[in-house]
Amino acid sequence: MKKMSGFSLLEIMVVLAIVAILATLAIPSQSGAIMQKRVVETLELMSPYRGNIEAYYKFTGGKLPASNKQANIPEPDKILSNYVEKMEVRDGAMHIYFGQKVPPQLHHKVLSWRMVFVKDTPDTPISWICGYDTVPEGMTAAGTNLTDLDIQYLPGRCR
C-alpha cells in the first residue's frame, strides 16, 4: 500500500490563522487617515464663517468679534454637521467641537481655527491657521488655541 503525503486540513488552517494574524499587525490602521479626511471636510464646511470674522475685523478697524453674535454667525449650538456638535467664536478664533459621527474618544474634542494678521494694520492680508500650526513671523493670532484633538487626526496643515 502506498502512503499519501501532504498537509492535513488542520495544519493548513493553523498556518492560515497565523498568516492572518501577522497580516493584521503589518497593515497600519486607517482610522487616523479617515479622521483626517473628516477634519478637512469640517474645515471646508466652516470656511464661509471666516468671511464674517474677517469682515468684522476690517469694518471695526482691527477689533476681533468676541462671540458668534458679534460675527453675525448663528449661535454655537445651531452650527451642526456630520462631525460637529457646535462651533464657537471667541476673540476672533473659531473653536470647532467634534461629537456627532466620530469615535467616542473624539467626542467633545476641540480644533481651533485662528485668524492671523499683522497687528494694527487691518488692511493687510489675513491668513488662518488651525490646530498646532505656528504663527508666521511678524503676525499675530486671534484668540487662544484650545485644540486638544490628537495630532494623528489632524491634517498636515494643522500640525
With CA atoms as reference, report the closest residue to 37 among 67, 82, 75, 80. 82
With CA atoms as reference, report the closest residue to 64 among 91, 94, 35. 91
Q: 79 lies in which domain range?
A: 31-151
pTM here is: 0.80
3-class DSSP assignment, residue 22: helix
For residue 47, is it within any domain? yes
For residue 89, is it within any domain? yes
For residue 45, is it within any domain? yes
- Separation between Cα atoms, residue 70 and residue 57, nearest integer Å: 11
For residue 21, is it within any domain? no
For residue 19, is it within any domain? no
Number of domains in the chain: 1
For residue 24, is it within any domain? no
Integer Rg of the chain from CA: 24
| pLDDT tens track, the chain, 159 positions | 666 677 788 888 999 999 998 888 777 667 778 888 888 999 999 999 999 999 999 999 999 999 999 999 999 999 999 999 999 999 999 999 998 888 888 889 999 999 999 988 888 899 999 999 999 999 999 999 999 998 988 988 898
For residue 22, is it within any domain? no
